[in-house]
Amino acid sequence: MSFSKVVSEATQALFDKLPHQIQQVIQLPAVRKGLAFLAAWKTLSVINSYLSHQAQNNWVRLGPWDPSQELVVLTGGCSGIGKQILEDLTKLNVKVIILDVQDPKFELPSNAYFYRADITSSSVVKEVGNQIRKEHGNPTILINNAGVGFRDPILDASEERIRLTMEVNTLSHYWTVKEFLPAMVQKNHGHVITVASLASFVGFGEIAPYASSKAAALAFHESLTQELRHWYKAEKVRTSVIHPFWVHTPLIGDMVKVGKHLGAPILSPKDVSSAVVKQIVSQTGGQIIIPSKLSPASFMRSLPNWLQERERDKGSLQFVKLRELRTALATQKAAAE
C-alpha cells in the first residue's frame, strides 16, 4: 500500500468520526480551500525548518551528548544571563570555567572555576587560555556571553563608553575564538555560542554603540560558520547565535520600561539560559530568537523603508519618553531638596 493511500485512508477515518454538522461545514468549498491552504502552509513550514536545521548543521548528525567530555568557557558568568547559564550547566555535570572582570558574589559549584580576565585584552585572554589548558585541558564549548550597554545619544556618548561597548560585545569574540577554536578544529568537535540581541536587526536612538556591537556579533557568527565549513572543514564544530529581546538584568535598567510600553515580553535570564543549554545538549547550531514570536524581526531589513522607519520610530520614541521622565523626576527631586 502506498504512503499517500495510507494517509488518505487515515484522514477519511478521522473525518468519519466527526459530528455530522462539522462534516457538513468541512465539505463547503470555501472551508475545504482554507483547510487545504493551512495544510500546505504547515507542510512548507515543516520542510523549511528541516532544511534550515540541516543546512546550519552541515547535514551531519552527531552522536549522543556526553557532558563528561565537555569543558565550557563562559564569559561574563558572574551575573545576569551568564550566572544562570553557569547554574544550569553545572547541574548537568558539565565543568564550567568563568572568565569575568568581577569576582563571583556567590559560592561556585564544585565543577565551576573562576578566572579573573579582561577579555577585551588579547594578551590577557592568551595568558588565561594557557593557564586553562594547563589546569583543565582544551575547552570544547565557548559561550561568548559577556556584554555591556549604555544609553546615550551619539553626540553625548563618551569615547570610553563607546570603546568599551564595542570591545566587550564584539572584539572580545575575536580574542576568545582565536584562543580556543584551534583545538576544536583539530578534534572536529566543539561549539561556539554567540549571545547577541534583537538589536542585531534594528537600531534605535540612544543605543547606537550597543546595536552596532550586536549587529557586528551576528556578522562575526555568520563568517565564523562559513570559515569552519569551507576553510577548516570542521563540519562537526557547531555555531549558534542567540538573539534575546530585553532581559530583566541590571545591564539594561529602565530599558525594561520601554519593552513594557511597547507591549513586548520582558525575558528572564532563565529564558535565555534555557535556549543556550538546549543548543549545547542537542549539539545543534543555528540562529535562535527569543521569544520565538519575535522571529519576524530577522526580516526587518526586507521590509519597505517606510515600514522599517515606522518600527524604529516606535522604539526610539519610547526612549525619548523615558529621558523626559528621568529629567522631570530629577527636577522634582532637586526642587524638593
Provide the annotated active-site residues: 210, 214
Contact present, 218 and 193 (Cβ < 8 Å): no
Determine the 3-state secondary structure of 238 from DSSP: strand
Contact present, 149 and 165 (Cβ < 8 Å): yes
Contact present, 85 and 273 (Cβ < 8 Å): yes
Contact present, 218 and 199 (Cβ < 8 Å): no
Measuring CA to CA, how many Å separate 147 from each of 173, 190, 191? 11, 22, 19
Cβ neighbours of residue 161 closer than 8 Å, sequence gap 6 or more: 150, 152, 209
Best CA proximity match to 73, nearest among 172, 218, 198, 213: 172
Radius of gyration of the chain (CA): 24
Cell 551528548 belongs to which residue?
Answer: 65
Rounded Cα distance between 112 and 91, Å, is 10
Greatest alpha-carbon pair distance for the chain in Å reads: 86
